[in-house]
Structure 1
Amino acid sequence: MSQTLRHPEIVELARRQGKVTVEDLARHFDVTLQTIRRDLAELAQAGQLERVHGGAVLPSRTSNIGYGERRRLHGEAKAAIGRACAALVPHDCALFLSIGTSTEAVARELLGHRNLLVVTNNMNVANILVANPDCQIVLAGGTIRRSDGGVVGTLTMQTIRQFKFDLAVIGCSALDRDGDILDFDLQEVGVNQAILAQSRRRILVADRSKFQRSAPARIASLGDLDVLVTDAGLEPDLAARCRAWGTEVVRAEAGGGAEEG
C-alpha cells in the first residue's frame, strides 16, 4: 500500500483505538518498522498525530471531537461498560445520568429497571429512557448544546441542587495518569461537580480511549468517586492509587461479564 493510502488509515486507526504503535502498524500494513516511523513522523509534522514512545496518538486538543464521531467510536466497549454499570444500579432508586455517549449506553441497559427516578442533563438519555414505563424522567433545565443534546449552565446546576441522588453516573473527556477526571467544557465541568456533590454514590464510566487523551479542565479525582467502570486494565501506579483511595475498579468485558479490581 502506498504512503498516500496508509496515512489516512493510520489516522483513522488512531481515532478508533486512541493510540497506534509502530509494531502493530508494521504488521497491519506488512511494511518495515522504519517505514512506519517515517509515516508517523510525517503525520506528526502535519499536525495529524502526536508521537509518543513506541507509536502515536491523536493531538491534544482544547475542544472535544464531534458528537457523531464520539458516538461511532468504541461502540462495543461502551456497550459492555453500559451493561456493567447498569448491573450496579438497583431498582427503586434516584439517579443522575450526565452528558456523554457512555452514559447513553448505560441508559439503554436500564430499560428493564423498575421504579427509577432519573434526572439528566442529556436529552439523548431522556429519549432513550422514555421506552421504560417504570422510569420517571426529569430533564434538568438550562442551555441546550445543539452539538450533542447536552444541557448546561446555571439553571442546570440549580435544578441539580434540588435533589439528593442515591447514585450518579458521569462520563468524561479524558482521564490522566494521576487519576484526574478531565473535560473540555467549563460549564459541563461545573455541572458535573454539582452532580457529584448531590450524590451518595458516584460512578465514572470511561472507555480505554480516555486514558490516551488530555483535556484542560478538571472535574474531580478518581479518589472522589466510588467506582470506575472501564474496559481497560489500569497502569500499575493508577491502580495502586485507586486501592489507596478505596475507589473500586470494574473492568467490563466485551462478552458481557465484568471483573472487579
Structure 2
Amino acid sequence: MNLSPRQSQLLELVRTHGTLGIDRLAETLNVTLQTVRRDVTALAEAQLLQRYHGGVRVPSSTTENLAYQQRQALNAAGKQRLARAVAQAIPNHCSLLINLGTTTEAIAHELRQHQGLRVITNNLQVARTLAGAPGCEVIVAGGVMRPHDFGIVGETTVDFIRQFRVDIGLIGISGIEADGSLRDFDLREVKVAQALIEHSRQVWLAADHSKFNRPAMVELARLEQVDRLFTDAPPPAPFDTLLQDAGIDVVVA
C-alpha cells in the first residue's frame, strides 16, 4: 500500500500509543471524522491497523505477544508516568510481589530510592534493577527462565510464590477485555501471576491505555480482584463503568 503523508502520520500515532480513538485521531490530525474513518478503513484492509468499536490499535494476535523490544518502546512515556505514580503510592517498609512485564520493570526503576522494601519477583529485569538499591532486599523466584525477557515461570515458581503473603501484589497485564477479564499469552506466566494475586493483601494493576480492548488468549483474573488500577489516560467506555462497578481505585497519571 502506498501511504499518503496523512496516513503515514496516522499509522505512526497508533504505533506510538498502541490504541487511539477515532475522535482523538481526527482532532490530532486536524481532519474530519469522515476522513479518519476512510483512512482507517484503508489501513485496516491492508492489515496495517486493527479496528475495534470507537478506535484502532496496532495489529495483534490472541496467541502471541509483541516482541520484548517492541513492548519496551510502545508508549514508553505513558509507562514512565504511571510508573512514577505507582512508586509514589508505595510506602517505605513494605513487602511486594512483582510479576513480569515492561511496565513493572519501569516501576522498579522508580523504586530505587525507597527504604525498607522487601521485593519478591520472578522478573530478573526487576531484580537486576533493584539489586543495587541500598534500601531494598530482593528475593528471586526459582523456575525456568524465558530467554527473550528473563522471566522466571513454571510450577517451581508457583510453589515458591505460595510461601509468601505480602502487602502489595504488583502486576502488569497484556490486555483488558470489555468483559472485565485480564488476559495474557503464556499460561505458565499466568499461573505465576494468579499465585501472586492469591498471596497479596492488596492487588495493584499497572496498565497503560494501550492494554484496554487488547485481546489475549489466557484469562489471568477479573477486574473485581484488583484493588487499584494505575494507568496513563482515562479508561474508555465501557471500562470506566466496569471499574466503577468493581469499586476499583483508579489513578490516572
* Corresponding residue number in structure 2 for 1:63: 64
What RMSD over aligned residues (CA atoms) do the two structures have, in Å?
2.4
Could you tell me how far 1:228 is from its partner in structure 2?
Answer: 0.7
Cα distance in 2 for partners of 1:30, 1:251 equals 26
Distance 1:215 1:47 in 2: 18
Larger deviation, residues 233-242 vs 82-91:
233-242
User: What percent of counterpart residues are identical?
Assistant: 42
Shift of 1:251: 1.2
In the alignment, residue 193 of structure 2 is paired with which amino acid?
N
**Bigger shift: residues 63-72 or 46-55:** 46-55
- Residue 78 of structure 1 aligns to a residue whose secondary structure is helix
The one-letter code of the counterpart of 2:188 is: Q
User: How many residues end up aligned between the 2 structures?
Assistant: 251
Q: 1:201 to 1:7 in 2, by over 3 A?
A: same
CA drift of 1:240 comes to 3.5
**Which consecutive residues of structure 1, in runs of 5 or more, have no partner in the other structure?**
253-261
SS at match of 1:201: strand
What residue number does 2:116 align with? 115
2:234 aligns with 233
What is the correspondence of 1:74-223 to structure 2 with a 5 Å cutoff?
Answer: 74-223=75-224
Residues 50-100 of structure 1 show CA distances to partners (whole Å, capped at 9, x for unaligned) of: 234555322341211111111112122111111111122221121111111
Unmatched tracts of structure 2, length 5 or more: none
Q: Give 2:13's aligned amino acid.
A: L
- The Cα of 1:30 is off from its aligned counterpart by 7.2
Q: CA deviation at 1:195?
A: 0.4
Measured in 1, the distance between the counterparts of 2:95 and 2:53 equals: 45
Residues 18 and 74, structure 2, Cα contact 8 Å, conserved in 1: no
SS across alignment from 1:144:
strand
**1 CA distance for matches of 2:167 and 2:54?**
43
**Bigger CA drift: 18-27 or 74-83?**
18-27
**Which residue identity does 1:16 align to in structure 2?**
T
Alignment of 1:16-55 (within 5 A): 16-20=16-20, 36-53=36-53, 55=55
